[in-house]
Structure 1
């Protein structure tokens, strides 16, 4: 009975290859990064911050992402990749929620530095090196270049769709929502993307 139960537990997962999960995660995340990159300065300006303050938050988020990426390089060999990706996804959820509810500049600066908000067009988050390491284990050497090309294409297309989705707050204002509320809902959507 024990061995048949173990086989039953394993079989439902066979239909979904790990690379498919990683590609889907990349698409979701880059979709979120696509609209956040466009909406972040709009949101911060709508909160009343100066262009200099907006630039400082963007710089802090890029610096924080770089440091998290370096940390992932050190931690990657010591921890399970799945655990690291789940921790990064939890950080993404917390970042989206914090940006939706926090209005204090100093707190936003800390969240930007420690979180996953990405104000650039490319994916420069903590997820990428972990996913690269996980993907290399799942394909043969001969297929690795093809797989990374697909991985990059999926990310670029999802980011483009996300950038288009940045127009959603304007659409929401036509049904009576305020612009600031509509943008906050997009940060909530960013948190939901992290949950997915």
Structure 2
């Protein structure tokens, strides 16, 4: 109740950003349900669909690199507003165009997600804004709410898409291609709603304004009472956890854009990138768009049943986002990630072993229940260790690296699907998750106790 009261009294910008992530992920949930089916329905081969997804991710990576690296120079609000405008344009193009390259260009610039996951610079900018707006003690809960609303939006989008396509095709007897195109019109409408919300953000979202706001001042004052991250029960200090919060506060007092990452960030960010890229590399082999295709072709699942499945899997993702805040407070960020990811890897790899759609869908449900329990721990780990002056760029690099790693899988998935062996992609995904978690635990598990101390545990 105390958290709900504080959330209610939080700055307007926090509430707008939370509403924004719900709308954005809802739009991703709607399009990821039909993207693969739409591309195949307009005569594009499965191999070309895989190439389409890879090229989309490559384009998204390049655009995100520029926008996140210079977002503090351009203005965070401007970057988010530009993204909304491009969403509207892309949705309208998909509703009309047939040409492969036109669709590809629209998917790239219009942040159409090929996986239902985050695409573009929005997530990095929003997380940086949220971390500036709340104190350490509330950060885990705000990020949990952010993750909850994002996955809830994804659930609602997936469910709405399945229901609408089934109704249009079965009751109104629309051709499937018309159903898919209409879904992209809805995507454009959501982009317009998001544009309206984003326009209401205040100048306090900008890094050069944060230090002037009362919220940021109180944040710094509270942080200055917290001891720096120190290595515990070690004879030597750990360079990964020597970042002093007092120093972090002084950085915020005079933020300047230099375009150069700090030595602290350059020291440990590469190791984190290896972990996150391995995770995303495996995920790229079997994103939701291909899972929809797998269940549709192998088990002959209807659009309505798939919409229901993805509604409940995304709903459990939402609940898991809240649970991830609890696991963070119980285990620390790194161990909480391992507790979530290790079972999820096993559940995902076991999906192709079952002949029954119900059982396979059940294992996918279990995978989703565990997979997003690492959301808050990952966000805390990154936002705690990275100096605030580097935060948008570092988060941008993480998301860009993940997107780049995810680009590779679809090239092979399309070819694997052509040969009728899509189950191989499930095994690759599970193996990559296990390897990424092993590297993470070996390199960063010792940070948990120190980070928990900063959060009052």
Q: Counterpart in 2 of 1:23?
A: 18
Match of 2:147 among 131, 136, 152: 152
Distance in 1 (CA, whole Å) between partners of 2:10 and 2:130 is 17
CA deviations on 1:16-71 (whole Å, 9 max, x unpaired) are 71111111111011011012112100111111111111111111222222222222
Q: Counterpart in 2 of 1:35?
A: 30
> In the superposition, relative to structure 1, how do residues 115 and 76 fare at CA in structure 2: closer, same or farther (>3 Å)?
same
Structure 1 position 170 matched with structure 2 position 166: yes
Distance in 2 (CA, whole Å) between partners of 1:109 and 1:123 is 18
CA deviations on 1:126-160 (whole Å, 9 max, x unpaired) are 21111112212221232122111110111112112
Distance in 2 (CA, whole Å) between partners of 1:16 and 1:43 is 41
Q: Counterpart in 1 of 2:102?
A: 107
Q: Counterpart in 2 of 1:6?
A: none
Distance in 1 (CA, whole Å) between partners of 2:48 and 2:155 is 27
> In the superposition, relative to structure 1, how do residues 110 and 124 fare at CA in structure 2: closer, same or farther (>3 Å)?
closer
Once the two structures are overlaid, the 10-residue window that deviates more, 185-194 or 68-77, is: 68-77
Unaligned runs of 5+ in 2: 1-8, 194-457
> In the superposition, relative to structure 1, how do residues 188 and 126 fare at CA in structure 2: closer, same or farther (>3 Å)?
same
Structure 1 position 58 matched with structure 2 position 71: no
| Runs of 4+ that moved beyond 6 A | none
Instruction: Please report the TM-score for the alignment, with normalisation by the length of structure 2.
Output: 0.38
Distance in 2 (CA, whole Å) between partners of 1:114 and 1:83 is 15
> In the superposition, relative to structure 1, how do residues 88 and 54 fare at CA in structure 2: closer, same or farther (>3 Å)?
same
What SS does the corresponding residue of 2:98 show, helix, strand or coil? coil
Match of 2:185 among 149, 165, 188: 188
User: How many residues in Structure 1 have an aligned counterpart in Structure 2?
Assistant: 183
Distance in 1 (CA, whole Å) between partners of 2:111 and 2:135 is 31
Structure 1 position 49 matched with structure 2 position 49: no
Structure 1 position 135 matched with structure 2 position 130: yes
Q: Counterpart in 2 of 1:90?
A: 85
Once the two structures are overlaid, the 10-residue window that deviates more, 96-105 or 62-71, is: 62-71
CA deviations on 1:78-118 (whole Å, 9 max, x unpaired) are 02221111101011111111111110112112222332110
Structure 1 position 73 matched with structure 2 position 68: yes
Once the two structures are overlaid, the 10-residue window that deviates more, 147-156 or 160-169, is: 160-169
> In the superposition, relative to structure 1, how do residues 170 and 16 fare at CA in structure 2: closer, same or farther (>3 Å)?
farther
Distance in 1 (CA, whole Å) between partners of 2:93 and 2:144 is 34
Distance in 2 (CA, whole Å) between partners of 1:65 and 1:160 is 23
Higher relative contact order (Cα pairs below 8 Å, separated by 6+ residues): 1
What SS does the corresponding residue of 2:34 show, helix, strand or coil? helix
Instruction: Please report the TM-score for the alignment, with normalisation by the length of structure 1.
Output: 0.86
